[in-house]
């Protein structure tokens, strides 16, 4: 690859400025107050793809936010890479925990990013990582080094479940036909320990509502005599794990695939410091399913977590009251073979069955998706591995991630192609949290690595 480092150092400031402009638009897909901003962001992505050298770019309307589709077909006989990413972001709240406003990006140095990191909502997830692909395309087109065809599909509803993208994919098999799907929306172990994500967990996300008496009650007059929905809910939630932190829902583990001792031994080789992990989170101990390491707990094992819980009086001071209702939002991270709809049904049946006398329970499924594992003996993986070897000077480690990108399993089913997850974020980049950031070094390293993937993938496809 000619001059990729040269090209990056000459254009570094512009690459950063362009990303910063994109990060200024608050494209929060979950909150309708930002709907115009989400639409404006799709326009900005369209312009960026046009400027980078796509031949055609379209805004594809859906029942929700638009999908930006762009392509450059240089020769139908050559392989085609389909790049997927998302331009929507998570809500920024709690805003008061940000050290600088979430949509006014600033570059600051950190311990893990001595060369600086861009602080903004979406910096790492996923605008920064998506934009690496746009700039890598610009480099390949401007220097006449694009070796194959490329298609971009950038959506605006990943953070809310990608429901409309699923419809779009099902209706556009031909348009989206490709030889490999390339995504940068995950992480790697460390800047000096490159890794390629080989797995994603599935997800089932539900909301529960527990109802007791028909109105809020005085906790002195009625307390102890009627079921308290908050007491009931917390007891029910507590019973979902046993003393070994196994999930107690009957049938929950039925389809879970146990990894062989060899596979687990291979996983354990990835560098990991429990001490550094605990220090970074300011905790004195880790916790999780008995019999598994931290890295196993957060990748190859399914989990259940309360993501939010509310009810009763939470304002200033004290109010003596028994609330009529209590609520919680619960996520279950799943592993390949566990079907998310089956698990949602198992949860619903079980949760309803453990309701104590005097309350009723309603379970509402939100969204979900299947997990994914990608093999490492394909030319896609090998080409990615070579690319990292060149730009990082080290062979990357294959690693399964705990996060979810539900659409990836669907891509395989609908488009019949494998996905390569080239993530350049770090776990410490605080995605979905206050002070999300993305290392400047990581951003530029991604732009540098991607063209080598195209090159090797095209060569290996011959």
Provide the binding-site residues for ligand BES, judged by CB under 6 A: 125-126, 158-159, 161, 185-187, 200, 203, 367, 401, 403-406, 431
- The site partner of 237 among ligand BES, Mn ion, none (C-beta below 5 to 8 Å per kind) is none
CA atoms within 13 A on the CB side of 381: 16
- Complex with ligand BES: residue 72 or 133, whichever CB lies closer: 133
- The site partner of 180 among ligand BES, Mn ion, none (C-beta below 5 to 8 Å per kind) is none
DSSP type of residue 285: -
**Least gap, CB of 45 to Mn ion (angstroms):** 15
Q: Does 88 bind Mn ion (CB under 5 A)?
A: no
- Complex with Mn ion: residue 37 or 126, whichever CB lies closer: 126
How many chain residues touch Mn ion (CB under 5 A)? 3
- Complex with ligand BES: residue 105 or 406, whichever CB lies closer: 406
- The site partner of 41 among ligand BES, Mn ion, none (C-beta below 5 to 8 Å per kind) is none
**Least gap, CB of 189 to ligand BES (angstroms):** 12
Distance from C-alpha of 406 to C-alpha of 158, rounded to nearest angstrom? 9
- The site partner of 406 among Mn ion, ligand BES, none (C-beta below 5 to 8 Å per kind) is ligand BES
> What residues contact residue 7 under an 8 Å CB cut-off, 6+ apart?
139, 142, 143
Q: Does 125 bind Mn ion (CB under 5 A)?
A: yes
- Complex with Mn ion: residue 211 or 374, whichever CB lies closer: 374
- Complex with Mn ion: residue 185 or 427, whichever CB lies closer: 185
- Complex with Mn ion: residue 131 or 252, whichever CB lies closer: 131
Interface characters, 132-171, with Mn ion (x: CB under 5 A): ----------------------------------------
Contact status, residue 184 vs residue 130, Cβ threshold 8 Å: yes
**Least gap, CB of 333 to ligand BES (angstroms):** 8
- Complex with ligand BES: residue 18 or 125, whichever CB lies closer: 125
Q: Does 185 bind Mn ion (CB under 5 A)?
A: yes
- Complex with ligand BES: residue 149 or 298, whichever CB lies closer: 298
Contact status, residue 362 vs residue 211, Cβ threshold 8 Å: yes
**Least gap, CB of 305 to ligand BES (angstroms):** 11
- The site partner of 179 among Mn ion, ligand BES, none (C-beta below 5 to 8 Å per kind) is none
- The site partner of 442 among Mn ion, ligand BES, none (C-beta below 5 to 8 Å per kind) is none
Distance from C-alpha of 315 to C-alpha of 187, rounded to nearest angstrom? 38
- The site partner of 404 among Mn ion, ligand BES, none (C-beta below 5 to 8 Å per kind) is ligand BES
**Least gap, CB of 264 to Mn ion (angstroms):** 28
The two beta strands, 149-155 and 397-400, are unpaired
For Mn ion, the binding residue among 18, 126, 155, 179 (CB under 5 A) is 126
**Least gap, CB of 222 to Mn ion (angstroms):** 43
**Least gap, CB of 405 to ligand BES (angstroms):** 5
* H helix and E strand count, the chain: 12, 18
- The site partner of 157 among Mn ion, ligand BES, none (C-beta below 5 to 8 Å per kind) is none
**Least gap, CB of 86 to Mn ion (angstroms):** 6
Q: Does 436 bind Mn ion (CB under 5 A)?
A: no
**Least gap, CB of 356 to Mn ion (angstroms):** 36
Residues within window 392-431 making contact with Mn ion, judged by CB under 5 A: none
Is 196 strand, coil or helix?
Answer: strand
- Complex with ligand BES: residue 49 or 431, whichever CB lies closer: 431
- Complex with Mn ion: residue 351 or 438, whichever CB lies closer: 438
- Complex with ligand BES: residue 299 or 449, whichever CB lies closer: 299
- Tell me the backbone φ, ψ of residue 221, rounded to 5 degrees: -70, -35
Site of interaction with Mn ion (CB under 5 A): 125-126, 185
């Amino acid at each position: 690859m000619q001059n990729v480092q040269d090209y990056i150092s000459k254009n570094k400031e512009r690459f950063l400025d362009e990303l910063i402009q994109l990060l200024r638009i608050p494209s929060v897909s979950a909150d309708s107050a930002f709907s115009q901003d989400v639409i404006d962001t799709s326009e900005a992505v369209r312009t960026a793809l046009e400027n980078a050298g796509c031949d055609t770019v379209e805004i594809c309307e859906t029942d929700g936010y638009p999908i930006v589709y762009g392509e450059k077909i240089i020769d139908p006989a050559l392989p085609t890479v389909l790049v997927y990413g998302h331009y929507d972001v998570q809500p920024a709240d709690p805003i008061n925990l940000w050290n600088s406003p979430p949509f006014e990006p600033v570059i600051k140095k950190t311990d893990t990013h001595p060369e600086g990191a861009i602080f903004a909502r979406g910096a790492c997830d996923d605008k920064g990582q998506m934009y690496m692909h746009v700039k890598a395309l610009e480099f390949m087109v401007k220097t006449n080094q694009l070796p194959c065809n490329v298609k971009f599909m950038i959506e605006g509803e990943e953070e809310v479940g990608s429901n409309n993208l699923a419809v779009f994919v099902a209706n556009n098999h031909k348009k989206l036909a490709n030889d490999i799907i390339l995504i940068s929306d995950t992480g790697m172990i460390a800047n000096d320990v490159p890794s390629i994500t080989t797995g994603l967990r599935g997800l089932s996300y539900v909301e529960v509502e527990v109802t007791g008496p028909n109105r809020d009650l005085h906790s002195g007059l009625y307390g102890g005599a009627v079921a308290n929905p908050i007491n009931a809910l917390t007891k029910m939630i507590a019973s979902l794990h046993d003393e070994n932190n196994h999930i107690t829902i009957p049938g929950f583990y039925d389809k879970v695939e146990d990894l062989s001792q060899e596979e687990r031994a291979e996983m354990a080789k990835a560098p990991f410091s429990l001490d550094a992990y605990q220090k970074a989170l300011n905790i004195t101990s880790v916790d999780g399913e008995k019999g598994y390491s931290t890295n196993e707990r957060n990748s190859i094992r399914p989990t259940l977590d309360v993501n939010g819980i509310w009810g009763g009086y939470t304002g200033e001071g004290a109010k003596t009251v028994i609330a009529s209702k209590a609520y919680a939002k619960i996520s279950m991270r799943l592993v390949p073979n566990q079907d998310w709809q089956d698990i949602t049904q198992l949860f619903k049946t079980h949760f309803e069955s453990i309701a104590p006398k005097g309350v009723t329970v309603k379970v509402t499924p939100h969204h979900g998706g299947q997990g994914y594992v990608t093999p490492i003996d394909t030319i896609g993986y090998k080409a990615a591995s070579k690319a990292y070897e060149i730009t990082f000077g080290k062979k990357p480690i294959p690693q399964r991630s705990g996060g979810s990108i539900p659409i990836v399993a669907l891509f395989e089913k609908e488009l019949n192609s494998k996905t390569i997850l080239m993530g350049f974020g770090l776990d410490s980049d605080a995605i979905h949290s206050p002070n999300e950031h993305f290392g400047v070094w990581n951003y530029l390293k991604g732009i540098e690595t991607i063209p080598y993937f195209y090159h090797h993938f095209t060569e290996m496809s011959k």
